[in-house]
Structure 1
Amino acid sequence: MNHRTLAWRLFRRELMRGQLRLIVAALVLAVLSVTSLALVSERLQQGLSSEASKFLAADRVLRSPSKIDEAIIIKAASADLQVAQVLEFQSMLFVGEQLQLVSVKAVTENYPLKGSVEALTTLPSKLPQRGEVWFDSRLNQLLQGQGSLAELGDANFDVSASFARLPDGGFNVFASAPTVLMNLSDVEQTGVIQPGSRLTWQYQFSGGEAELETFSEWVKPQLTTSQRWVDVKSQDSPLSRALERAEQFMLLATLLGIALACTAVGVAARRYCQRHYDAVAMFKTLGASHRQIREIFALHLGLTTAVGIVIGLVLGYASAFLMMTLLPQELQLGGFTPSLRPLYLGIATGVIAAAGFTLYPMLRLLSVPPMRVLRKDVGPIGLAGWLNGLAAVLALAALAYIYSGNFTLTWVLLLGVAVLALVLAILGFAMLSWGRQLGVRTGSSLQLALAGLRRRAGDNIVQLVGFSVALMLLLTVLALRQDLLQDWQQQLPEGTPDHFLINIADYQRDEMQQFLNDNHVKATDLYPVIRGRLGSINGETVRRSVTKEDEPEQAPRGIGRELNLTFRTELPPNNPLTAGQWFAADATDEVSLESSVADRLEVGLGDRLSFVIDGKEFSVTVTSLRQVNWETMQPNFFMIFPPAVLAEFVPTYIASFHHPVGQPELVGTLVRQFPTVSVIDVGTMIAQLRQVVNQVSLALAWVIAVVAAASALLLMAQTEAGMAARQQELAIMRTLGASGRLLRGAVTWEFVLLGAVAGVLATLVAELLLWLIKTQLFELVVTPHWSWWWSIPLAGALFIGTLGRLACRRLLANNCAVLLSQR
């Protein structure tokens, strides 16, 4: 018989047995997880970026204080990118006898490239035509009894419509000047743009991702220090942070799932090769050459790998497209053309996992001597154990780098796996050693189980590490997903404020509070707001946003703009102190700083800060630092002072509230009663943020399923790996007259104890790992999971005990003769 034919027959027979099926299943899972998650991630990134780009009104934005070189516009057009221009400036607007400081947004006819202008009244056209302006909803009171003609600079305009919100309106509620939308071609006739005018030009770009990336690489080196290239991720917003955390989680969890699946491949391959030691010895005895034997098992490995890759790719694409149908309409398959990257990643994963994690067991298999036919105690020629570790590490490193493209993350993953395995091995050895002493004093099945753990200490440590890693990584991923979702939901819970009240005068404060109470409106406190500038730190003048020639480079870093300062006697909600003590109500020269601003300014407790308000300078001492949750839709501040410090300055007030259901006329009534107060509706932004979070959570659930499946495979592979030693022990015990009940109890107890110990180790290491990941990667609050310390060991004992009992059921059912014949 041709050795290739023999290899095919052996492959078909072995495919119906345990270890080869486990290898195929592990390869399928690794390929499936990489392929499906790469596809889903690709679609989510496209869809979420498209949805999120509506907050910018474009895919990319170039912000500049002056016009940019025309060559940039020409280059963008040649790259098939759409370009819209926006000019922003402030001016006085006159309507009849009323005047108002406004923020003018002059746009080209193709604005916005993403999203749309949200109408307050019926819009006569997509954008204001020449000679027309549209008003922000906050300007409606100017039109009451004043006609529909507005004067801006030297030109008059018809007020043809009102809008509720612009797609790139942003989250800055302190930008208190209401907005006027006009056609960019009308700006020149107003005459308000003069040399030295403070302008902001925005050049918005939209197009294919590849074209945008190419254009970004070309344009970034040409930007000046005053120009900024912006995309969704570079925005300091709740949305950008949610997307960044979700991508980090998906990448980390997928790498852990791949590592688990590859470990299962290695464990199953080791057991598979051990089962074929006798077959290789027989082949050599019958005259088979080393090359023929190598080809037989190389074909086995090649066919196994091919089957795993093909099935993994098919299931990966099928599951990915099935999952996409569950996404919201705007994120489904329409317009999605997947790249070849997921296909290449899947194939590379299968090949590298198969080669790297089966190389060492295969080399040992091929080195089995013919003498083993006569003597079962003769094993393969000893190979250096470090070869196994080196091959596995190189394979894992290659997979991590190919998938993540991040060299640092690859080394962190490898170092973490090595440290984790070492810690678990040491802890496991210590716990099993304690079990030896306990076994001496225990009788019946439990004593037999503990004796078995002691006899196979080396193999049991390996199994224990495998069980612990599977449980620990599953716990880590589950906890991270839950904490991420909880963190997002806490930022935007039901009842989150969706309207801001700006420019409440001091004399209106009591009346406004009474209005909110009478209408049963759930609102925050009224926070005073005073504009000021940071002047010096510890007596040294701070640098401004753009360093001037006469400013020393050693000067402390400043904020670079006017700040919104407030005073308060009580610590605001969602502002826990991280250092120092909150000042007393009668303090006269203290200030509390937001912790990230303190880090940026390199300021700590006891430092002296000087501020300038209305030309008056005063100094205060930093006595506390606060952690501010900026994602909550409530007023938050960098600096908070005692009331006495800002007593001589006149503040305006700000608050936020949740619009109660069933009161559609509330905002209109409020505007009529308080015409000088600006009302900002952020409800649409909150709805968009919630939609993005829901979409991301669906992808995180799929990652959890992949990691859970990989953990289950590893547990099964580890359980199957110990069957050979157990078979020999059971045969001896049967020969010595041990009852079936005693053996069943001993096997059950052995796996129960392994599961319980693995649960304890998994909980301990998972808590440490979560602390590290939350503090260093996701910036989440660390909370211990006290229920894990009893529930996870119990679950581990039940699950692994049941799994082990099921795996050994056939061995336990056989008599002594059958057990000996199967060896």
Structure 2
Amino acid sequence: MFHLRLALTMLSRDLRAGELTMLGVALLIAVASLTSVGFFADRVQGQLSRDATQLMGGDLLVSGDAPLPPEFEAEARRLGLRVANTTNFSSMVSTDDMAQLSAVKSVEAGYPLRGSLRIAQTMGEAGVEAGRIPEPGEAFVEERLLSALQRKVGETLQLGNSSFRIGGLITFESDRGTNFFSFIPRIMINAADLQATGLVQEGSRIRYRLTVAGERAPIAAFAAWLKPQIKAGQQLESIDNARPEIRGNLDRIQRFLQLAAMLSVVLAGVAIGLSARRYLQRHLNGCAAMRCFGATRSQLLGLFLGEFALFGLLMAAVGCALGYALQEGIAALAGGFFKTSLPAPGLLPVLHGLIVGVVLMVGFVAPQLLHMTRVPPVHVLRRDWGGLQGSVVGAWVAGALALLGLFLWVAGDIKLGAWSALGFAVACGVFALVARLVLGALASLRHRGTASWGLRYGLAAMHRRLGASMVQTVALGLGLMAMLLLGIVTGDLMSGWQKGLRDDAPNHFVLNLQSDQKTAFQQFFRERNLPAVELLPMVRGRLVELRGKAVRPDDYEQDRARNLADREFNLSYGSAMQEGNRIVAGRWHGEAKAPEFSMEEGVGKTLGVKLGDEVVFEIGGQRVKGRVTSIRKLDWDSMRVNFFFSAAPGLLEDKPTSWITSFRLPPGHSADLNALVAAFPNISVIDVGAVLAQVKDLSGKLIAVVQFVFGFALLAGAVVLFAALRATHDERMHEISVLRTLGARNRQLRSAMLWEFIVLGGLSALLASVGALATGYVLATRVFDIIYTPDWLALLGYLLAAVIAVVACGWLGVRSLLQRTVVDSLRATA
């Protein structure tokens, strides 16, 4: 109890003296950033676990891009399970005056098997349990569709060849999901009306789904029977992998947020290391005095460890409370992503926050304390104890190992965590190496008489404290780089993406046009003096063999590769290469009638397909074999129709074909669009502008979430900035005291310190700029696939602002030293 009371007394004294301010703020930011993300992720996981069956609409779901074998439903019924068939696709819904792209869903009696369907009769109502599905000739629609078409409940609308009476407004649909079809307004019809609409055509992209529900034992038996029956293009979902599009998106968001929070933890760790180092230097005298009065090393270690353990737990607890409050902000920013309210989070993130606090303390503070307690009593009389210098490497190595452990733990993936840690280590190593070389080169200027006294002395001081100067430069570079990534590079990436969208780019796509409609379709555009359209053939096929081996999704590690291997491709054929395509390898097949394919380079890299490889596609039950003889680079930002694979003439002409095109509809021609849908009710017209607006809205919410978390990194960068400049505060005070004793004037000392801060700020800002530009380039080329054009004027302004910030913060920290008397300065450093 005596040692506990003494540790509390020491903690209270250091808090009042401000000795632990920087360390506490850094720890608070690290814990708050991780726990806020942890609480949010816990709520999402709780939602998925709580409502897994409702998210699917049943206990088990099998889906496919072709009608499912009738044996699936027969076996489910034999086992006593309830079944419900649904289909999902997109199509145009129209009235006499306008049309709107919608997500069409046909359902049959018994839907939904789990969860609920709620409808209302007027806009703005919460809705009540429907207790039924739409009657034949009736449709349930979402409020957004009703508003877009300017219709009311009870009125009619057109879907394909059929007319439907609006029977209610969908307010809740448990198995809605968050894929593309959840972004556009929904219309729900009775499955008995589907064929009459004429929308089920060759090339129609329809997803067929069979949902089953029942007791656990027959569900397990049905799943065991079904798994060997699943073929390419079919997918089995259960409670364990409920709605993979939800889990996939949320897992990626969670991983992104975790890594974003890790940036703040890394910067906070750097700030804690700098603060702990300064604490060690300032308490050596007191520690030596306690040794003179008989304190043993173990007693001192116990006292200081007790003080920092109490302080760490206090800051971690406050950080957890702050993280709990902030996660409400994250959930609010991502509000549009969820259709139901999230459950309350658990307490596991609190444990994680406490662990982060302990790890950072142990990693960065404990090694410093171990060396501090080794100070001999003679240090009271002699201040040249060399044990302090030997502690530098060991302390930072321990901190680096602590951060490595946090990287691997938070990332949840050894490979991802290792690569992230490696990237951080490379940045630190490069920054340290460049700082060493530049500071060494600049040190030669201190011997030149042509340089001013302030510049020569400032460089000499930095060279004399070379180790500390390198640590300051690296720390400042990391902090400033985080700020630059937030402030400028992200804006440059968005600007580059927007520049890729041309003003004359097509804004509408047409799908599912049939061969016998081509002439009438083109005539429609000529009669209305609209730009001519280029109709391109589209054949749906699945890649089943590559280089003589079967293609299986499980053979790929990346999610994108697995998805591509499990889906049908939109293939095309012809002798002329499309506009915006460019051959980067091989030769274009031209008019040669040969079993050859031209491949887009991105899909080849993802699936491991190379020039000269033999590929086999399955189309309508038949296999088509060909060799990849050319690789194309596509201009995806052009918004024109593009294909992953294009075949030579004669290879696919006899296969089921629909036609696709894109065109630009000038403003004020909405009547022409409505007339087009009325003339060709089976086609799907996608308003790309509207779709992009919907995706942009969701993306904006997610970007806001990420920026919210990156705000912690911004705060941590500011703490690093201040802690790095305060790291050598006491050494500067001692140097100033000695120089003033020897007759140096304040004007000379002011000039020396300003030059030191200018060099430090300029070098750190330059390193940060290079690091941020390199990161921006990698993101642009590897992630966003855009041409990255930095805003050099903004970057120059940032460099100037960063130097001014470093100089200003540094000057504010040392300005008071010049106002002290020589006697006070000497006493303070005694």
Assess same fold via TM > 0.5. yes
Residues 498-517 of structure 1: pairs in structure 2 closer than 5 A = 500-503=510-513, 505-514=517-526, 517=529
> Aligned with 1:738: secondary structure?
coil
Residues 622 and 161 of structure 1: is their aligned pair in 2 closer, same or farther, counting only changes over 3 Å? farther
> Residues of 1 paired with 2:139 and 2:791: CA distance?
57
8 Å Cα contact 1:535/1:541 also seen in 2: no
Give a deviation string over 1:310-361, Cα, whole Å, max 9, x none. 2212222222224544554775994431122322221111111112210111
Residue 531 of structure 1 aligns with an amino acid whose one-letter code is: V
**Alignment partner of 1:250 out of 253, 257, 261:** 257
- Which residue number corresponds to residue 783 of structure 1? 788
8 Å Cα contact 1:594/1:628 also seen in 2: no
Give a deviation string over 1:744-794, Cα, whole Å, max 9, x none. 121111011111111122222333444556666x36446263627644442
The alpha-carbon deviation at position 606 of structure 1 amounts to: 5.5
The alpha-carbon deviation at position 279 of structure 1 amounts to: 0.2
The alpha-carbon deviation at position 236 of structure 1 amounts to: 10
Residues 426-437 of structure 1: pairs in structure 2 closer than 5 A = 426-437=433-444
Residues 786 and 236 of structure 1: is their aligned pair in 2 closer, same or farther, counting only changes over 3 Å? farther
> Residues of 1 paired with 2:650 and 2:169: CA distance?
39
8 Å Cα contact 1:120/1:163 also seen in 2: yes
Report the TM-score, using the length of structure 2 for normalisation.
Answer: 0.74
Residue 110 of structure 1 aligns with an amino acid whose one-letter code is: Y
**Alignment partner of 1:470 out of 463, 479, 502:** 479
Residues 725 and 592 of structure 1: is their aligned pair in 2 closer, same or farther, counting only changes over 3 Å? same
Segments of 5+ residues of structure 1 without an aligned counterpart are 90-102, 149-158, 173-178, 188-198, 548-556
- Which residue number corresponds to residue 151 of structure 2? none
- Which residue number corresponds to residue 598 of structure 1? 604
Residue 512 of structure 1 aligns with an amino acid whose one-letter code is: F
8 Å Cα contact 1:35/1:342 also seen in 2: yes
8 Å Cα contact 2:259/2:410 also seen in 1: no
- Which residue number corresponds to residue 264 of structure 1? 271
> Residues of 2 paired with 1:59 and 1:685: CA distance?
32
8 Å Cα contact 2:87/2:209 also seen in 1: yes
> Residues of 2 paired with 1:583 and 1:790: CA distance?
49
Residue 364 of structure 1 aligns with an amino acid whose one-letter code is: H
> Aligned with 1:276: secondary structure?
helix
> Aligned with 1:39: secondary structure?
helix
- Which residue number corresponds to residue 21 of structure 1? 21
The alpha-carbon deviation at position 60 of structure 1 amounts to: 7.9
The alpha-carbon deviation at position 467 of structure 1 amounts to: 1.1
**Alignment partner of 1:420 out of 414, 418, 427:** 427
Residues 570-609 of structure 1: pairs in structure 2 closer than 5 A = 571-573=578-580, 578-579=584-585, 592-599=598-605, 603-605=609-611
Residues 735-814 of structure 1: pairs in structure 2 closer than 5 A = 735-772=741-778, 778=783, 780-781=785-786, 783=788, 785=790, 787=792, 790-814=796-820
Q: Which moved more, 1:457-466 or 1:131-140?
A: 131-140
> Aligned with 1:747: secondary structure?
helix
> Aligned with 1:624: secondary structure?
strand
> Residues of 2 paired with 1:363 and 1:328: CA distance?
48
The alpha-carbon deviation at position 658 of structure 1 amounts to: 6.9
- Which residue number corresponds to residue 459 of structure 1? 468
- Which residue number corresponds to residue 152 of structure 1? none
The alpha-carbon deviation at position 468 of structure 1 amounts to: 1.3
- Which residue number corresponds to residue 565 of structure 1? 572
**Alignment partner of 1:287 out of 291, 294, 310:** 294
Residue 347 of structure 2 aligns with an amino acid whose one-letter code is: L
Residues 488-637 of structure 1: pairs in structure 2 closer than 5 A = 497=507, 500-503=510-513, 505-514=517-526, 517-518=529-530, 525-531=533-539, 563-567=570-574, 569=576, 571-573=578-580, 578-579=584-585, 592-599=598-605, 603-605=609-611, 622-627=629-634, 629=636, 635-637=641-643
Q: Which moved more, 1:362-371 or 1:767-776?
A: 767-776
Residue 456 of structure 2 aligns with an amino acid whose one-letter code is: Q
Q: Which moved more, 1:10-19 or 1:296-305?
A: 10-19
Residue 63 of structure 1 aligns with an amino acid whose one-letter code is: S
> Residues of 2 paired with 1:789 and 1:410: CA distance?
30
Q: Does 1:109 align with 2:110?
A: yes
> Aligned with 1:337: secondary structure?
coil
Q: Which moved more, 1:557-566 or 1:272-281?
A: 557-566
> Aligned with 2:790: secondary structure?
coil
The alpha-carbon deviation at position 109 of structure 1 amounts to: 2.8
Residues 91-490 of structure 1: pairs in structure 2 closer than 5 A = 105=106, 107-111=108-112, 128=133, 140=159, 142=161, 181-182=189-190, 202-204=209-211, 222=227, 224-226=229-231, 227-229=234-236, 246-325=253-332, 328=335, 334-380=341-387, 387-441=394-448, 442-476=451-485, 481-482=490-491
Residues 722 and 87 of structure 1: is their aligned pair in 2 closer, same or farther, counting only changes over 3 Å? closer
Residues 814 and 223 of structure 1: is their aligned pair in 2 closer, same or farther, counting only changes over 3 Å? farther
Q: Does 1:86 align with 2:116?
A: no
> Residues of 2 paired with 1:395 and 1:516: CA distance?
69
Report the TM-score, using the length of structure 1 for normalisation.
Answer: 0.75
> Residues of 2 paired with 1:716 and 1:220: CA distance?
64
Give a deviation string over 1:523-572, Cα, whole Å, max 9, x none. 8943321537699999x87869899xxxxxxxxx9999685314474544
8 Å Cα contact 1:767/1:784 also seen in 2: no
Q: Does 1:30 align with 2:30?
A: yes
8 Å Cα contact 1:755/1:796 also seen in 2: yes
8 Å Cα contact 2:371/2:387 also seen in 1: yes
The alpha-carbon deviation at position 277 of structure 1 amounts to: 0.3
Task: Note the aligned Cα RMSD (angstroms).
Answer: 5.5
Give a deviation string over 1:394-415, Cα, whole Å, max 9, x none. 3213322332322222322333
8 Å Cα contact 1:268/1:717 also seen in 2: yes
The alpha-carbon deviation at position 472 of structure 1 amounts to: 2.5
The alpha-carbon deviation at position 86 of structure 1 amounts to: 3.2
> Residues of 2 paired with 1:230 and 1:627: CA distance?
34
> Residues of 2 paired with 1:655 and 1:240: CA distance?
33
Give a deviation string over 1:497-548, Cα, whole Å, max 9, x none. 4663531633124323235645xxxx8943321537699999x87869899x
Residue 439 of structure 2 aligns with an amino acid whose one-letter code is: L
8 Å Cα contact 1:535/1:609 also seen in 2: yes
- Which residue number corresponds to residue 554 of structure 1? none
8 Å Cα contact 2:37/2:258 also seen in 1: no
Residues 250 and 296 of structure 1: is their aligned pair in 2 closer, same or farther, counting only changes over 3 Å? same
Residue 824 of structure 2 aligns with an amino acid whose one-letter code is: V
The alpha-carbon deviation at position 701 of structure 1 amounts to: 1.4
> Residues of 2 paired with 1:757 and 1:220: CA distance?
66
The alpha-carbon deviation at position 305 of structure 1 amounts to: 0.7
8 Å Cα contact 1:359/1:391 also seen in 2: no
Residues 291 and 180 of structure 1: is their aligned pair in 2 closer, same or farther, counting only changes over 3 Å? closer
Q: Does 1:670 align with 2:699?
A: no
- Which residue number corresponds to residue 155 of structure 1? none
8 Å Cα contact 1:544/1:560 also seen in 2: no
> Residues of 2 paired with 1:483 and 1:242: CA distance?
25
Residues 716 and 706 of structure 1: is their aligned pair in 2 closer, same or farther, counting only changes over 3 Å? same
Give a deviation string over 1:791-813, Cα, whole Å, max 9, x none. 44423321111111111111122
> Residues of 2 paired with 1:332 and 1:543: CA distance?
40
> Residues of 1 paired with 2:304 and 2:44: CA distance?
41
> Residues of 1 paired with 2:744 and 2:370: CA distance?
38
Residues 333 and 380 of structure 1: is their aligned pair in 2 closer, same or farther, counting only changes over 3 Å? farther
> Residues of 2 paired with 1:471 and 1:625: CA distance?
40
> Aligned with 1:377: secondary structure?
coil
> Residues of 2 paired with 1:88 and 1:265: CA distance?
54
> Aligned with 1:63: secondary structure?
strand
Q: Which moved more, 1:489-498 or 1:299-308?
A: 489-498
Q: Which moved more, 1:688-697 or 1:699-708?
A: 688-697
